[in-house]
A and B are shown apart, each in its own frame.
Chain A
């Protein structure tokens, strides 16, 4: 098994954190993993993206020319990455912000109003965690409890309130797709 995912959005939306936490979770779950952020001039202009590869075998290239999943938090990211998605792949988009419709019809599309859900919980900055709830619900790449403890590790925050709100945000994303199905 080899699953590659691209996470993309505005700088400040916590895109790198999503990838980092997933990579950490996958490592904790015993997988081989790589995390590759876009860097340097590529990230001028305010967008950020990263690629996470998870596999039960050694990973040759950390780059995804045809990712299995893409998670996009803003419209420019959707336009940049949707054509790269492998046929049959999963496209997760933040429908609170992205008004455009994806042009791909050969992929599975999951629209999650993650910004709204996060706002409802009282912390709009957890939209990325909401997204991860939905993402792991569908992909099952890493068990939720392992992911959540990885997220705590990589956020480095011992504050109970921060941990709690992220658990809630994760659950909101996880539950959202259950209801929709």
Chain B
């Protein structure tokens, strides 16, 4: 008998992605859907797509989804989770959505330690609106609103969301990953799984930041984009676990040192 080893996750609808070739959104979508299947939480999961290229995410995820206005996902998630504490609620957000217009909602949801999961797609541009500068754009990065490159004096520094959110006592788990190679994709999948598991265990706010290629607005090929993440982006945004509070607490209980 043949064994099926690869197929469409149950939590994914049979629709074709509208994303550009080489876009990281499609990979992230699939990973989330796989995790939802694995944890068997499809029936109790509620997702919130952003305003951004992923605005149509409800066409792809086969779970309940409610649209949020630009940047307000974590606030809407808070409302849902407080009313339905036993549901699994995730907010899916871009860098403009999370780190610019929605920084207040995101920061305060994290600070309150809302028991929700945020998947944060950092592609260093505003993808949907055509490649304007994002709060996470690299210094010197040319975009349609930074025609001569991002300038510290005029535009400030790339915001390190994961590092900053790690400082908030309310956050339980924060990891920065990427999806530019098979190995990094598997790692991201693990991170997403952990983030959802922590929510299931009621441990508090979890966030997975994904450095995600946007070949269209970076004006690169998909392969060049993957390389750019390694060579440029991950220098400003180092990959790795930035916070794992439950693990740290365990260690502390066992009398081990935490970094």
Chain A interface residues (CB < 8 Å from chain B): 41, 44-46
Q: Which residues of A contact B20 (CB under 8 A)?
A: 44-46
- Nearest-CB distance from B50 to chain A (Å)? 15
| Chain A, residue nearest B20 (CB) | A44
**A108 CA to B182 CA, complexed, in Å:** 52
Q: Does B18 sit at the interface, judged by CB under 8 A?
A: yes
Smallest beta-carbon distance A48→chain B, Å: 13
Which of chain A's residues have a CB closer than 8 A to the CB of B18? 44-45
What residues of A have a CB within 8 angstroms of the CB of B128 in the complex?
A: 41
A44 to B53, CA, bound (A): 10
Contacts of A41 in B (CB 8 A): 128
A/B interface sample: 6 pairs, CB < 8 A: A41-B128, A44-B18, A44-B20, A45-B18, A45-B20, A46-B20
Q: How far is the CA of A46 from the CA of B23 in the complex (A)?
A: 14
Q: Please, which residue of chain B has its CB at the minimum distance from the CB of A46?
A: B20
Shortest CB-to-CB span from A99 to chain B, Å, is: 23
Bound-state CA distance A41–B18 (Å) is 10
Nearest to A43 among chain B residues (CB) is B130
Q: Mark B1-39, 1 if CB is under 8 A from A, else 0.
A: 000000000000000001010000000000000000000
CA distance A45 to B16 in the complex (A): 12
Chain B residues with Cβ below 8 Å from A44 are 18, 20
The CA-CA distance from A46 to B216 in the complex, in Å, is: 10
List 6 tightest A-B contacts by C-beta distance, closest first. Answer: A44-B18, A45-B18, A44-B20, A45-B20, A41-B128, A46-B20
In the complex the two chains form, what is the Cα distance from A74 to B128 in whole Å?
Answer: 25
CB distance from B16 to the nearest CB of A (A): 10
Q: How far is the CA of A41 from the CA of B59 in the complex (A)?
A: 15
Residue of B at shortest CB range from A39?
Answer: B130
Which residues on the B side are within 8 Å of A45 (C-beta)? Answer: 18, 20
Minimum C-beta distance from B219 to chain A (A): 12
A11's nearest neighbour on chain B, judged by CB, is: B216
Give the chain B neighbours of A46 by CB distance below 8 A: 20
Q: Which of A44, A45, A46 has the most CB of B within 10 A?
A: A44
Q: Shortest Cβ distance from B162 into chain A, in angstroms?
A: 29
Q: Which residue of A lies closest to B127 (CB)?
A: A44
Q: How distant is the Cα of A41 from the Cα of B55 in the complex, in angstroms?
A: 11
Q: In whole angstroms, how far apart are the Cα atoms of A67 and B128 in the complex?
A: 30
Within the complex, the shortest CB–CB distance from B220 to chain A, in Å, comes to: 14
A60–chain B nearest beta-carbon distance, Å? 29
Min Cβ gap B51→A in Å is: 12
Give the distance in Å from the alpha carbon of A167 to the alpha carbon of B18 in the complex.
39
CB distance from B29 to the nearest CB of A (A): 16
Cα A46 to Cα B128 with chains together (Å): 14
Q: What's the least CB distance linking B249 to chain A, in Å? A: 45
Residue of A nearest to B55 (CB): A41
A117, B174: Cα distance in complex, Å: 57
What is the minimal beta-carbon distance from B13 to any residue of chain A, in angstroms?
19
Q: How far is the CA of A45 from the CA of B128 in the complex (A)?
A: 12
Shortest CB-to-CB span from A80 to chain B, Å, is: 16
Q: CA A140 – CA B172 in complex, angstroms?
A: 70
Per-residue interface assignment for chain B, residues 103 to 143, with 1 indicating a CB less than 8 Å from any chain A CB and 0 otherwise: 00000000000000000000000001000000000000000
- A44-B17 Cα distance, complex, nearest whole Å: 11
| Cα-based distance from A46 to B21 in the complex (angstroms) | 10
- The distance from the CB of A16 to the nearest CB of chain B, in whole angstroms, is 14
**CA of A44 to CA of B25, assembled, Å:** 14
B30 CB to closest chain A CB, in angstroms? 19
In the assembled complex, the Cα of A44 lies from the Cα of B18 at a distance in Å of 8
Distance in Å from the Cβ of B71 to the closest Cβ of chain A?
A: 19
